[in-house]
C-alpha cells in the first residue's frame, strides 16, 4: 500500500534523442522495476528526488552533478508505473 504523502521522482535523458523527461512513482517497487529497464528504454538518470506532500525536495544523491528537478517538472511528471 502506498503512502500518498511520499512520491519518488526520476529525471531521465534519452541517450539517443536528448529528450529529458521526469517520471513520478508512488510505490518504491514501481520505481525499482522502472530502474531495471533504463537500459532497454535508452534512458540515463539525470536527477532524483523524494518529495513529501509533493512540495519539499529532501533527497538528491546527484546534488553536485545534476540539473535539479524544478517545481514545474514535479507537476508535469509522467506516471512511471504506466511505462
- Classify residue 49 as exposed, middle or buried by CB count within 10 Å of its CB (0-12, 13-18, 19+): buried
Q: pTM of the prediction?
A: 0.66
Looking at residues 49-72, what average pLDDT do you find?
62
The larger pLDDT score, comparing residue 34 to residue 63, is at 34
**What confidence tens digit (pLDDT) does each residue in 2-54 have?**
556 788 999 999 999 999 999 999 888 999 999 999 999 999 999 888 877 54
Cα 6-69-35 angle, rounded to 5 deg = 65
Amino acid at each position: 500500500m502506498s503512502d500518498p504523502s511520499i512520491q519518488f521522482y526520476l529525471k531521465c535523458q534519452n541517450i539517443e534523442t536528448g529528450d529529458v523527461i521526469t517520471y513520478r512513482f508512488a510505490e518504491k517497487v514501481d520505481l525499482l522495476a522502472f530502474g531495471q529497464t533504463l537500459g532497454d528504454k535508452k534512458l540515463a538518470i539525470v536527477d532524483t528526488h523524494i518529495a513529501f506532500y509533493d512540495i519539499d525536495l529532501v533527497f538528491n544523491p546527484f546534488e553536485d552533478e545534476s540539473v535539479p528537478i524544478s517545481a514545474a517538472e514535479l507537476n508535469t511528471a509522467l506516471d512511471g508505473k504506466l511505462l
